Structure 1
Amino acid sequence: MSRASQGPSRRLLLAGALAAVSAAATGCSADSGAAASGGAGRLRIGYFAFPSGDLLVKHGKLLEKALPGYQITWIKFDSGAGVNQAFVGGSLDIAALGSSPFARGVAGSAPIPYKVAWILDVAGENEALVARKDTGITDVAGLRGRKIATPFASTSHYSLLAALEKAGVRPSDVELIDLQPQPILAAWQRGDIDAAYVWLPTLDELRTTGTQLTSSKEIGAAGRPTLDLAVVSDDLIARDPEAIDAWRRAQAEALRLIRSDPDGTVRTVAAELGISAADARAQLTQGVFLTPEQVVSADWLGADGRPGKLLGYIADTGRFLAGQKQIGAAPSEDVVRKAFYLEGLADVLT
């Protein structure tokens, strides 16, 4: 297709939610059973197979230690579009979610009932645009007339559109193809696509036979940063805010471990992703991990009723997506502000 279509309607999202979560459930950790039906002692957590504090919390059972008696289920997703569908279907309590799909989720007349409550990482060299070497393409402008794959409604999709705009290439000048990371790799190997914008670990496999044209680090430095956020459902906020506090403390501990125990972090990421220690170390160096103090600072998420600069980043993302006709209208800053859950954040650091 020549142009990325607008996101699916809420009705279609609801129709697809059960199928998406059913498929995602195959990624649940073996030690987490099926989700309990209601009640405060349940946490259904969506995560990505991607280096972040989530993997340390999951592998180290930090939540199980903090919340004994809770039934904690980890569900693996391939992209933010699936996470959004699952929240619409009421099938998640907490999940990792890119800043671009979050901006989509809070836009429109029926925003998804969730709020951002933490920052997992800032995209760096761990998301990038790569062209197959045999195409001879060496810059973004050279993509005119070419086939480019990316997971639609993801941070990579957003960054791809930003990269094209900066290079003076219209979306209609290329053929944009909606593929998840593993199908991107297969299409790349078959020669069905000329380029792809995607994240680790698929990105590293593409780099072996590709030329990197730009990265989310470069695009962020030019004024369009993307982040991996963590969102919580409105239902969980209403019924069990104490569980959110425990989860935030576990995430803060994970961020500290990334800095204080790099070798242990490498071993954990390698075990969770099924990769070598060398690959895990290389992947970790490509992301930008904040300290817990930075997360709750005015430069990023903010705390206790005082949103930080993330508010502006999300609002800018919404305006850009609306300008690219990816969403019908950008969410206002007031709408974005209401989609921040900052209560109790300062207590995470004490």
Structure 2
Amino acid sequence: MSRSVPQGPSRRLLLAGALAAVSAAVTGCSSDSEASSSGSGKRLRIGYFAFPSGDLIVKNRKLLEKALPDHKITWIKFDSGASVNQAFLGKSLDIAALGSSPFARGVSGASPIPYKVAWILDVAGENEALVARKGSGITDVAGLKGRTIATPFASTSHYSLLAALEEAGLKPSDVKLIDLQPQPIIAAWERGDIDAAYVWLPTLDELRKTGTQLTSSKEIGAAGKPTLDLAVVSDELIAEDPEVIDTWRKVEAEALRLIRSDPEGSVKAVADELGISTKDAEAQLSQGVFLTPEEVTSADWLGTDGSPGKLLTYVTDTARFLADQKQIDAAPAESAVRKAFYLKGLPDVLK
């Protein structure tokens, strides 16, 4: 593995691996992830992460299935945003959760991925962090020089790790970066193959048991480089069935309200979906930053129809940073990023 971060795979390679990635993801789905259909032939394929968010509440309570009884809804679990991007290139998804960093990558280049951001699931807080193994002697980010760090490449954690290194005066070439998904990170950690890792829950909590947290996405966001978990919709769905997107937004908004109005029920839903105790689910939910639907559509975040919010600047800045770090060839102009926002109907469709 090179000590510097390699360039991301070409669109052609991403496309070639797309169907295989989705096939593996579908195979990993639980048997209860599909709803019955009325036989109309309509389908909705939703990509999600096993990560505390309103998505898990929508899935667990079958809010979307109840709202769209004439659709066959399939929930497909993914491990990282890179795999989600591959799936959209392979036209295997209609809606999906996606971190702001892989989204910035997706809308960059001459052939942007055919999707648009339509919702914000959460803002990264203490639920994504950089942890060093105890006994490694590493007590701060600067101490990572010459050490081996794992993170899922092209993810929000990868972006935050690069930002943390830059803030500490380190270049990517000053460390050895390893591209690992969350589960393999745990195995590498236990073997002693890595000195540190930047990753999200629930893997993060496993590392914290025998590690020292050096920084988090909450701290990095406060310093000017926030990351978010977004939700994107395919251009094809926008063209063919925009009313479904309105319905999906309504149930996502309901889930955000439930996190506040029914915390016990929300914790139980997350615990059931992740197969963990309610105590652990409550702790994990508390580490994320969940906006209200009104905040999502405010000028501070996603914005409204015809008036994008600060998310536009965040995504543009993320792409520019990734270009400076040689993660992408060139950063798109803000006007190009704006084209990847789907705000039609907001905020009225939430009423």
In the superposition, the TM-score normalised over structure 2's length comes to: 0.97
Q: How far apart, CA to CA, are the structure 2 residues paired with 1:334 and 1:33?
A: 38
Per the alignment, residue 209 of structure 2 pairs with: 208
Displacement after TM superposition at 1:34 (Å): 9.8
Per the alignment, residue 173 of structure 1 pairs with: 174
Aligned 8 A contact 2:5 2:327 in 1: yes
Aligned 8 A contact 1:107 1:329 in 2: yes
Per the alignment, residue 135 of structure 1 pairs with: 136
SS at match of 1:345: coil
Per the alignment, residue 126 of structure 2 pairs with: 125
Q: Mapping of 1:147-296 within 5 angstroms?
A: 147-296=148-297
SS at match of 2:343: coil
What amino acid does structure 2 have at the position aligned with 1:99?
S
Deviations 1:20-79 (A, max 9, x none): 00110023342344999xx97211000000000000000000011101120000000000
Aligned 8 A contact 1:159 1:219 in 2: yes
Per the alignment, residue 81 of structure 1 pairs with: 82
What amino acid does structure 1 have at the position aligned with 2:341?
F
Displacement after TM superposition at 1:349 (Å): 2.9
Q: How far apart, CA to CA, are the structure 1 residues paired with 2:235 and 2:87?
A: 14
Deviations 1:319-346 (A, max 9, x none): 0000000000001100110000000121
Q: Which runs of at least 4 in structure 1 moved beyond 6 Å after TM superposition? A: none
Aligned 8 A contact 1:40 1:239 in 2: no
Per the alignment, residue 6 of structure 2 pairs with: 5
Deviations 1:257-281 (A, max 9, x none): 0000001111110000000111000
In the superposition, the TM-score normalised over structure 1's length comes to: 0.98
Between 1:214-223 and 1:1-10, the stretch displaced more is: 1-10
Q: How far apart, CA to CA, are the structure 2 residues paired with 1:27 and 1:273?
A: 13
SS at match of 1:134: coil
Aligned 8 A contact 2:305 2:345 in 1: yes
What amino acid does structure 2 have at the position aligned with 1:185?
I
Seen in structure 2, the aligned counterparts of structure 1 residues 347 and 185 have a Cα distance that, compared at 3 Å, is same
Seen in structure 2, the aligned counterparts of structure 1 residues 285 and 85 have a Cα distance that, compared at 3 Å, is same
Per the alignment, residue 342 of structure 1 pairs with: 343
Q: How far apart, CA to CA, are the structure 1 residues paired with 2:99 and 2:292?
A: 19
Per the alignment, residue 327 of structure 1 pairs with: 328
Q: How far apart, CA to CA, are the structure 1 residues paired with 2:140 and 2:41?
A: 52
Aligned 8 A contact 1:81 1:152 in 2: yes
Aligned 8 A contact 1:32 1:71 in 2: no
Q: Mapping of 1:89-108 within 5 angstroms?
A: 89-108=90-109
Between 1:24-33 and 1:300-309, the stretch displaced more is: 24-33
Deviations 1:108-151 (A, max 9, x none): 00000000000000000000000001101000000000000000
Q: How far apart, CA to CA, are the structure 2 residues paired with 1:78 and 1:2?
A: 24
Per the alignment, residue 31 of structure 1 pairs with: 32
What amino acid does structure 2 have at the position aligned with 1:148?
I
Per the alignment, residue 49 of structure 1 pairs with: 50
Displacement after TM superposition at 1:162 (Å): 0.1
Structure 2: where are the runs of 5+ without partners?
none
Between 1:338-347 and 1:160-169, the stretch displaced more is: 338-347
Deviations 1:227-278 (A, max 9, x none): 0000000000000001000000000000000000001111110000000111
SS at match of 2:318: helix
Q: How far apart, CA to CA, are the structure 2 residues paired with 1:105 and 1:58?
A: 26
Displacement after TM superposition at 1:348 (Å): 3.1
